[in-house]
Amino acid sequence: MSYAIENIRNICLLGHGGTGKTSLAESMLYLKGATDRLGKVVDGNTVGDYDPEEIKRKISISLSTMHLEHEKYKVNILDTPGYFDFMGEAAEALRVADSGIIVCSAKGGVSVGTEKAWKALDAAKKPRFFYVSKVDEENGDFEAIYEALRAKFGTSVCPCTIPVKDSSGNVTGLYDLIVRKAFAFDKGKKVEIPVPEAMKEKIEKLSVAVNESVAETSEELIDKYFSGEEFTVEEIVDGLRKGVKELTMFPVFCGNAMTGVGTLTLLDAVVRLMPSPKDAKAELSEDGKTEIACDPSAPACAIVYKTLSDQYGKFSFFKVVSGKVAADMTLVNPRTGTSEKMGHIYVMQGKKSIEVKEIDCGDIGAVAKLSDTKTGDTLCDQKRQVTLKGIDFPAPCYAMAISPKVKGQEDKIAAGLARLSEEDLTFGVVNNAETHQMVLSGAGDIHLDVICSKLKNKFGVDVELSPARVPYREKIRKKVKVQGRHKKQSGGHGQFGDVWIEFEPGDTEDLTFQENIFGGSVPKNFHPAVEKGLRDCITEGVLAGYPVVFLKATLVDGSYHEVDSSEMAFKMAATLAYKAGLPQANPVILEPIGTLNVTIPDSYMGDVIGDLNKRRGRVLGMNPAADGMQVVEAEVPMAEMSSYAIDLRSMTQGRGSFTFEFVRYEETPGNIQAKIIEEAKALAAKE
């Protein structure tokens, strides 16, 4: 079915893990007949959570796209994970949603996930509602959550529904402050009920808050408010719609997804108050030169916001920003310059794909088997080639080495990770030539664990994670002069090479090789062999086998044999000199140091600085940031940062974030150096 752009609503569900986002989406779909059963997360049968990992873990892991029809409006629902390891999925949803619903539980306070969802929507300048879930469960307290939301986010937080309770405190329905009526919910239908006498004073107080918020949206309504006249329902709806669009009003709704309480009221508000794609500001191309309005008659332009990849191929999810996308249409990907045929196109209901002939302007769809398009790419008409702004994903901050449990399956791991990276752009893989490890980096331990499970289930390779080795270096601190003499006689031509080399600290990280030979004691044609022998040696230091840097080697003397000397003999002589000389030159291990910027609320400052001191960090300063946050700048050894992503999350209840960037190498303290050498010996013995 085709929908006018004014009748489309694209909403994303955001909030802390466990607050009921997936259950709310399920309730919406069920009550509107988009699904024939009310699935439950614990039973693993919801429309939104269909990935085997989600069913096993009972949490949302990836963004799910669903849709329903309500009062001839199409509502696209983008259900995002609440766990911080999967924030990249929320970034995808925010790129194409026109508004957001922040779901928070009536059983807890304003959680970190609520704060993060608010900040994300605020940064994207998207309208938003609050939805307080589980209001009729034991210990649910809507009033406390509403007051906490106003205290945290300001008086622009406006109540729109409140629970109706009987004399025993049980929730029997909702009072709708917009239409000024109370409703019970029976088999998915709203049934008007009388307002309990005990609630009238509370309703009057909250109605004043609604009227004050509505009055501020226009001068006419302000005049009417101060004259004591009552607003009509239409005036309240118009005022709320304007306030929501202008980001001056943030309505609060409530309910319980499992019983259906409040779900239809929330959907009424979505179609009445939330903006359509047409109401959004025109998009600017990435270079800022072209404006792309949400115009159905304009050339087609779409943004790919998610990719699903499995053994059968790829599904690319997209939002039509202008024009429309029809089956068998050919669009251009400006990033690659390739033409992509939109063969079969679909609308998605979780994992179920429903084939359609076209996707209208402002709507969301999916297409299979695009050859060279990835998440964040633009697809557009040949007549108007533009590149829209892509998706900003959080940088990986937690790294572990990944290896197969059965040797020889490294290629299978690499192939599997390459396929997984098509749908998840928040992890990275690096083959570290220095440490001989494949290093997998992501948002946290749960994220990496999910990737490992997918490698096993989808690609049949068992893997294990271990701490990533730190790329240490070695250098010398004093000057020595040593001889390297290689002599071998075993019948026929022998081997003879004899060198005297001075080793001393150099000025550059790479080997500095010089020769200072008098009288031709070592012929010039053997000098390159001496240098080659040393360059082969510096890949492994004498303390723990790490590369040697800042080394200067000067060939000062030696001898040769007219028959037995060769390039190989002088390479061996240089190697012997290296192995004899470096242990005498006061060698030391260098460790990588990085600059750490930690963004935290001021209340966690003491804990974070104390933790940095334990990690041998040096705090360089503190600077205020937005929203009452502080940025702590420090220099910390890389060896102390392996678990920092998890530890910081624990210390700050998920409110802290950080960036870490390598800056230089420094000498390692003696006690740490001894530990590194022991670990290197143990590793060598194991291998």
Convert the pLDDT of each residue in 497-552 to its tens digit: 999 999 999 999 999 999 888 777 888 888 999 999 999 999 999 999 899 999 99
Q: What is the pLDDT, as a whole number, of residue 14?
A: 97
How many residues does this entry show for the chain?
687
Q: What is the pLDDT, as a whole number, of residue 85?
A: 92
- Rounded to whole angstroms, the Cα distance separating 126 from 254 reads 20
Q: Do 498 and 575 reside in the same domain of the chain?
A: yes
User: Mean pLDDT for the chain?
Assistant: 92
Q: Is 664 exposed, middle or buried (0-12, 13-18, 19+ CB in 10 A)?
A: exposed
CB 146 within 8 A of CB 105: no
pLDDT at 489 over 80: no
* Residues with Cβ within 8 Å of residue 63, at least 6 apart in sequence: 78, 79, 80, 81, 89, 90, 92, 93, 306
CATH code for the domain of 438: 3.30.70.870
Q: Do 452 and 563 reside in the same domain of the chain?
A: no
Q: Do 297 and 255 reside in the same domain of the chain?
A: no
Q: Do 480 and 608 reside in the same domain of the chain?
A: no
Closest CA to 384 of 302, 502, 500, 470: 302
* Residue 557 maps to a domain: yes
* Residue 387 maps to a domain: no
Q: Do 35 and 66 reside in the same domain of the chain?
A: yes
Give the end of a domain, one of 421, 437, 466: 466
Closest CA to 514 of 497, 534, 498, 496: 534
- Chain mean position to CA 411: 26
As for how many domains the chain has, the answer is 5
Q: Do 423 and 520 reside in the same domain of the chain?
A: no
The predicted-structure confidence for 71-83, as pLDDT tens digits, reads as follows: 999 999 999 999 9
Q: What is the pLDDT, as a whole number, of residue 490?
A: 67
Q: Do 45 and 177 reside in the same domain of the chain?
A: yes
Give the end of a domain, one of 422, 440, 466: 466
Share of the chain above pLDDT 70, in %: 99
Q: What is the pLDDT, as a whole number, of residue 492?
A: 62
Q: Do 575 and 602 reside in the same domain of the chain?
A: no
290 pLDDT band, cuts 50/70/90, is confident
Q: What is the pLDDT, as a whole number, of residue 288?
A: 83
CATH code for the domain of 611: 3.30.70.240
Q: What is the pLDDT, as a whole number, of residue 494?
A: 80
The pTM score is 0.89
* Residue 216 maps to a domain: yes
Rg of the chain over Cα atoms, rounded to whole angstroms, equals 33
Q: Do 222 and 119 reside in the same domain of the chain?
A: yes
- Chain mean position to CA 154: 28
CATH code for the domain of 129: 3.40.50.300
Q: Do 352 and 497 reside in the same domain of the chain?
A: no
List, in sequence order, every residue forming a beta bridge with 380; answer none if it has no partner: 301, 332
Q: What is the pLDDT, as a whole number, of residue 325?
A: 96
* Residues with Cβ within 8 Å of residue 563, at least 6 apart in sequence: 493, 494
405 pLDDT band, cuts 50/70/90, is very high
pLDDT at 311 over 70: no
Q: What is the pLDDT, as a whole number, of residue 543?
A: 93
- Rounded to whole angstroms, the Cα distance separating 119 from 91 reads 12
Q: What is the pLDDT, as a whole number, of residue 621?
A: 93
* Residue 485 maps to a domain: yes
CB 426 within 8 A of CB 396: yes
Give the end of a domain, one of 448, 466, 484: 466
DSSP class of 587? -
Q: Which two tokens stand for residue 484?
A: 């390297």
Q: Which two tokens stand for residue 663?
A: 């800056």
Cite the beta strand spans of 166-249 per DSSP E. Answer: 171-176, 181-186, 189-193
Q: Do 438 and 483 reside in the same domain of the chain?
A: no
* Domain hosting residue 614, numbered range: 590-677
* Residue 190 maps to a domain: yes
Q: Do 522 and 634 reside in the same domain of the chain?
A: no
The SS3 of residue 536 is helix
* Residue 532 maps to a domain: yes
Number of C-beta neighbours around residue 187 at 10 A:
7
* Residue 522 maps to a domain: yes
